[in-house]
Amino acid sequence: MLDDLREQADNAVFLEDEPDFFDVERGGPEQTLFLGMTPVQRFIIAVMAMMMVCILSTFCLLVSERIALPFF
Protein backbone atom coordinates (compact mmCIF):
# COMPACT_ATOMS: atom_id res chain seq x y z
CA MET A 1 0.00 0.00 0.00
CA LEU A 2 2.76 2.45 0.88
CA ASP A 3 4.69 1.44 -2.23
CA ASP A 4 1.76 2.54 -4.38
CA LEU A 5 1.69 5.93 -2.71
CA ARG A 6 5.41 6.37 -3.26
CA GLU A 7 5.05 5.46 -6.94
CA GLN A 8 2.22 7.93 -7.35
CA ALA A 9 4.28 10.65 -5.71
CA ASP A 10 7.24 9.87 -7.97
CA ASN A 11 5.11 10.20 -11.10
CA ALA A 12 4.15 13.78 -10.29
CA VAL A 13 1.97 14.08 -13.41
CA PHE A 14 -0.21 16.64 -11.69
CA LEU A 15 2.73 19.06 -11.43
CA GLU A 16 3.42 19.04 -15.18
CA ASP A 17 -0.03 20.36 -16.05
CA GLU A 18 0.24 23.55 -14.00
CA PRO A 19 1.63 26.65 -15.66
CA ASP A 20 4.86 27.87 -14.19
CA PHE A 21 4.13 31.25 -12.69
CA PHE A 22 7.59 31.65 -11.24
CA ASP A 23 9.51 31.65 -14.53
CA VAL A 24 9.52 35.40 -14.96
CA GLU A 25 12.45 37.25 -16.40
CA ARG A 26 14.10 39.17 -13.62
CA GLY A 27 14.44 42.74 -14.71
CA GLY A 28 14.76 45.90 -12.73
CA PRO A 29 11.94 46.69 -10.35
CA GLU A 30 9.16 48.41 -12.20
CA GLN A 31 7.93 51.15 -9.94
CA THR A 32 4.49 52.52 -10.65
CA LEU A 33 4.19 56.15 -9.75
CA PHE A 34 0.89 57.52 -8.52
CA LEU A 35 0.61 61.21 -9.41
CA GLY A 36 4.32 61.18 -10.21
CA MET A 37 5.35 60.56 -6.59
CA THR A 38 7.40 57.83 -4.99
CA PRO A 39 5.93 55.82 -2.08
CA VAL A 40 7.95 57.83 0.46
CA GLN A 41 6.62 61.10 -0.91
CA ARG A 42 3.05 59.80 -0.79
CA PHE A 43 3.56 58.72 2.82
CA ILE A 44 4.80 62.18 3.80
CA ILE A 45 1.79 63.80 2.10
CA ALA A 46 -0.56 61.41 3.94
CA VAL A 47 1.06 62.19 7.32
CA MET A 48 0.87 65.92 6.63
CA ALA A 49 -2.81 65.62 5.69
CA MET A 50 -3.55 63.66 8.88
CA MET A 51 -1.79 66.29 11.00
CA MET A 52 -3.75 69.08 9.30
CA VAL A 53 -7.05 67.30 9.97
CA CYS A 54 -6.14 66.81 13.64
CA ILE A 55 -5.09 70.43 14.09
CA LEU A 56 -8.09 71.88 12.26
CA SER A 57 -10.58 69.66 14.08
CA THR A 58 -9.08 70.63 17.45
CA PHE A 59 -9.28 74.28 16.48
CA CYS A 60 -12.93 73.90 15.46
CA LEU A 61 -13.75 72.24 18.80
CA LEU A 62 -12.05 75.09 20.65
CA VAL A 63 -13.87 77.79 18.65
CA SER A 64 -17.27 76.12 19.09
CA GLU A 65 -16.52 75.77 22.84
CA ARG A 66 -17.14 72.01 22.82
CA ILE A 67 -13.88 71.63 24.70
CA ALA A 68 -11.96 74.11 26.84
CA LEU A 69 -8.31 74.36 27.63
CA PRO A 70 -7.61 73.68 31.31
CA PHE A 71 -5.63 76.89 31.91
CA PHE A 72 -8.36 79.32 30.76
68 contact partners, CB below 8 Å, separation of at least 6: 62
- Report yes or no on 24 lying in a domain: yes
Domain count, the chain: 1
Largest CA distance in the chain: 86
- pLDDT value at residue 13: 61
Q: Do 46 and 54 form a contact (C-beta atoms < 8 A)? A: no
Rg of the Cα atoms in the chain: 30
Q: Domain range spanning residue 20?
A: 2-63
Percentage with pLDDT > 70 across the chain: 65
In a domain, 7, yes or no: yes
Q: How far is CA 42 from the centre of its chain?
A: 13
Report the predicted TM-score, pTM, of the whole model to 2 decimal places. 0.51
Task: Supply angle C-alpha 36, 48, 61, rounded to 5.
Answer: 145
The mean per-residue pLDDT over the stretch 10-17 comes to: 62
